[in-house]
Amino acid sequence: MLFLCKFLYRNLKGYRLLAVLAMLMTCAQVSSDLLATIPLKFIVSKISNPRSDPSCTFPFLDSLLTVFDTPVLDPSLRPIHRDQPLRQPPLASCPAISSGMNSVIHPRLTHHSVSGVIVFSLLMLAVFGLLNALLIYTELFLSTFIAQHLSARLREQLFDQLQRLSMDWHDGQKKGDLVQRVTVNIADIEKLVSDGLIDLLAGILTLAGVVVIMLFISSGYTLLSLAIAPLLFLIVFSYTGGIKAAAKKKAKAAGKIADVATEDLQALTVVKAFTLEKRKNLRFRNHVGTYREIGLHAGRLQAQFTPLVSFLGVLGTIIVLGIGGYVAAGKGVKFGLVAIGASTIDIGTLVLFLTYLKMLYQPMRDLSKLTTLASNATSGAERIQEVLDRAPEAAETSVPYEGPHKLKGDISFENVVFGYLKDQPVLKGITLHIPAGRRVALVGSSGSGKTTLAKLIPRFYEIQQGSLKIDDVEVGMYPLLVLRQNISLVLQDSVLFEGTVRENIEMGRSGATLEEIIEAAKKANIHETIMRLPDGYETIVREQGNNFSAGQRQRLAIARAILRDAPILLLDEPTANLDAEAEAAVMHALNTLVVGRTVLTISHRLSTLGRVDEILVMQHGQIVEQGTFKQLQRKKGVFASLLEEQNRYALDRAEDETGITSQRLCFSCLRKEDFVKATAPLTFGGIFRQVYAASHRKDQFA
Ligand SMILES: Nc1ncnc2c1ncn2[C@@H]1O[C@H](COP(=O)(O)OP(=O)(O)OP(=O)(O)O)[C@@H](O)[C@H]1O
Ligand SMILES: [Mg+2]
């Protein structure tokens, strides 16, 4: 609870005064609510006993009530003759009140008319009702205003922080869980501020106010009326604990459902392809089942709690009615030390106590809901603070950067060691120099650390040992913005964002003109495809670019990279997901992109490396070979065996499989006419051998 208070205090900066104002409004509203019930007593008491006057309990009302003693309201006050003064209601002594013997010995005298008191009380009711309505409006508006601003601020802060946190941290998180924090957890805090806090404060004030006023009117009657309060408190607290624990478990189970649903829906293609629907349904059903059980338990507790409190309320009513009625009927009551004299309570007081009792039980009944709200908000605040407290990714250097904003692109690794987990290095001492403008290919078996090496250049992860420099300056010395603006990335599966095609390309360089965007698209070999779309460059891209083929997505990403015009280009298997035809188109686009840049291209398929100056071969986190295609082939080392293995595999497959497969493979390397000419007299195995040999023309690597 203390944590929640501190959290709210910290995050309400700028709105604290408004929060205090909302609290003051709540105090005023509760007071007016409590006072609004008193005129009820006035009317009932005055009607049942004309001597029982509001000024008996509240002497300061005497002069105010005199204004209402007019013949307009009470014709009996009209003088018999015009020139005579107005008649006064007859003087009478106030009834005795239970709190003092003095009222019995020296009763107060009063003289107000019944109609006057009724009209006065009705007016008071109207005034308090109006005031109440105004205060409720202000307090609700203020609390909603504060809650909305708080949740907007928290969401923006959290989202910003999530984008800044390191890939290291993100690797260990579930996306569904993070989305839950941004949406549900913040909504919980918002709900507490907009509904809960005001209700809680109002509840506490009502409890205190009711007890004070009841004690003021009749202390003995109050003590007896509240006889069941300890039992009520006991029940409230024991149930509240259970309901709170159940709410916590329920929130956790809901998070799990969100996780599983997000994961499965993201992988829907795989689910359908492997016909995993039943299995996934079963898993999902298990989580839903857990949630249902916890929800039922929480519901059961709530279902028991509400009628229990209601029944205790009825017991309280029986006590108030019983004692009140007995005393009002002219009999005295004595319970232990508490004694109430005969007729010291009238019908009006009885009605007032009944009304107050109702007001007393409502906050108690709400207490369990409020603690659930508070507990949800607390766990939400903890989960949000946990993210906010994380140090952002690679810390920005404190040394002011005064170097150029456009880098040349000379990259050097010196004995770089890095691992995702401590003591488990993935890169085990990489030493490597890529001069500016050089095109280097990185090959090696799966898991050897190629992608990891590439990710270190834009500082997605921090190296653990050694040094990584660009243009002879440690990467850590560049502001992240400068560093990353100088690097373009094209990955295996490029992501497009919701928005138009134009906006997606423009992300490469904010503020680029349409002409520049079209120019980039033309170079990326995608302009014509875009122009064929119904809205051209203004065509809407659906979530993650689902309305584009993988090849089109890659070419759009290449257009983005061309526009970015960064000196360093990292290509991580940009054609791995494409079929042969799309691959050819993308390779064509890439040929334009790589001109004049330092290029590090990673590829499994040695046939898709394109023209490179040098090949680096990685194995188990180390660079084991380095050289031109010819040199490496001659060396008969790792690269040569990789090449041989790929050749053998491809040939075996081509011989085994249908013609469609061989055709698919050779599209990447031959023009269609050549292909048709070459294939005419051959078997499928033979076709492939010829085509494959053509695809590995040595000049590609020379
Ligand atoms: N985010 C990560 N968290 C923990 N370990 C990782 C992470 N990414 C990769 N690894 C591990 O690091 C090693 C190298 O992975 P990396 O992705 O660099 O290999 P790769 O050479 O690019 O492989 P591939 O050719 O299959 O893409 C692997 O053993 C992998 O399990
Ligand atoms: Mg990889």
User: What is d(CA 57, CA 116) in angstroms, rounded to the nearest whole number?
Assistant: 17
Identify whether residues 160 and 44 lie together within a single domain. Answer: yes
Nearest protein CA to atom 3 of ligand 1, as residue: 420
Antiparallel, parallel or unpaired: β 499-500 and 487-490: unpaired
Task: Give the distance (Å) from ligand 2 centre to CA of residue 447.
Answer: 7
The arithmetic mean of pLDDT across residues 581-591, rounded, is 77
Q: Are 207 and 358 in contact (CB under 8 A)?
A: no
Pocket test for ligand 1, best of 168, 170, 420 (most atoms within 8 A of CB): 420
Residues in CB range of 197: below 8 A, 6 or more apart: 143
Is residue 452 within 6 Å of ligand 1 at its C-beta?
yes
pLDDT digits (tens, 9 = 90+) for 362-395: 787 777 678 778 888 988 999 999 999 887 766 6
Here the CATH number for the domain that contains residue 446 is: 3.40.50.300
Structure confidence at residue 498 as a pLDDT band (50, 70, 90): confident
Task: Give the distance (Å) from ligand 2 centre to CA of residue 167.
Answer: 15
Does residue 90 form part of some domain?
Answer: yes
Identify whether residues 416 and 267 lie together within a single domain. Answer: no
Is residue 84 within 6 Å of ligand 1 at its C-beta?
no
Task: Provide the domain count of the chain.
Answer: 3
Does residue 284 form part of some domain?
Answer: yes
Q: Give the pLDDT of residue 258.
A: 84
Is residue 476 within 6 Å of ligand 1 at its C-beta?
no
Is residue 173 within 6 Å of ligand 1 at its C-beta?
no
Q: Give the pLDDT of residue 608.
A: 60
The arithmetic mean of pLDDT across residues 418-426, rounded, is 88
Render 498-541 in DSSP notation, one character per residue: SEEHHHHHHTTSTT--HHHHHHHHHHTT-HHHHHHSTTGGGPEE
pLDDT digits (tens, 9 = 90+) for 433-453: 999 999 999 998 888 999 999
User: What single-letter amino acid sits at 199?
Assistant: D
User: What is d(CA 490, CA 71) in angstroms, rounded to the nearest whole number?
Assistant: 93
Is residue 450 within 6 Å of ligand 1 at its C-beta?
yes
Antiparallel, parallel or unpaired: β 568-572 and 598-602: parallel
pLDDT digits (tens, 9 = 90+) for 545-584: 778 888 888 888 888 888 888 999 998 888 777 777 777 7
User: What is d(CA 528, CA 116) in angstroms, rounded to the nearest whole number?
Assistant: 89
Q: Give the pLDDT of residue 56.
A: 82
Structure confidence at residue 97 as a pLDDT band (50, 70, 90): low
Residue 534, class by beta-carbon neighbours within 10 Å (0-12 exposed, 13-18 middle, 19+ buried)? Answer: exposed
Residue 152 has a CB neighbour count (10 Å cut-off) of 12
Here the CATH number for the domain that contains residue 23 is: 1.20.1560.10
Identify whether residues 225 and 100 lie together within a single domain. Answer: yes
Does residue 44 form part of some domain?
Answer: yes
Q: Give the pLDDT of residue 680.
A: 37
Pocket test for ligand 1, best of 167, 450, 601 (most atoms within 8 A of CB): 450
Q: Give the pLDDT of residue 189.
A: 94
The arithmetic mean of pLDDT across residues 104-122, rounded, is 81
pLDDT digits (tens, 9 = 90+) for 63-95: 888 888 888 887 877 777 777 777 777 777 777
Render 554-607 in DSSP notation, one character per residue: HHHHHHHHHHHT-SEEEEESTTTT--HHHHHHHHHHHHHHTTTSEEEEE-S-GG
User: What are the φ and ψ backbone dihedral angles of 431, each rounded to 5 degrees?
Assistant: -125, 125
Atom of ligand 1 nearest to the CA of 455: 18
Does residue 218 form part of some domain?
Answer: yes
- What domain range is 493 assigned to? 411-633
Does residue 639 form part of some domain?
Answer: no
What integer best gives the mean pLDDT of the chain? 83
Identify whether residues 61 and 142 lie together within a single domain. Answer: yes
DSSP state of 88: P
Task: Please list the residues that pair with 440 across neighbouring strands.
Answer: 600, 614
Task: Give the distance (Å) from ligand 1 centre to CA of residue 587.
Answer: 25
Identify whether residues 429 and 333 lie together within a single domain. Answer: no
Is residue 275 within 6 Å of ligand 1 at its C-beta?
no
Residue 113 scores a pLDDT above 80: yes
Task: Give the distance (Å) from ligand 1 centre to CA of residue 426.
Answer: 8
Q: Are 87 and 79 in contact (CB under 8 A)?
A: yes
User: What is d(CA 58, CA 94) in angstroms, rounded to the nearest whole number?
Assistant: 12
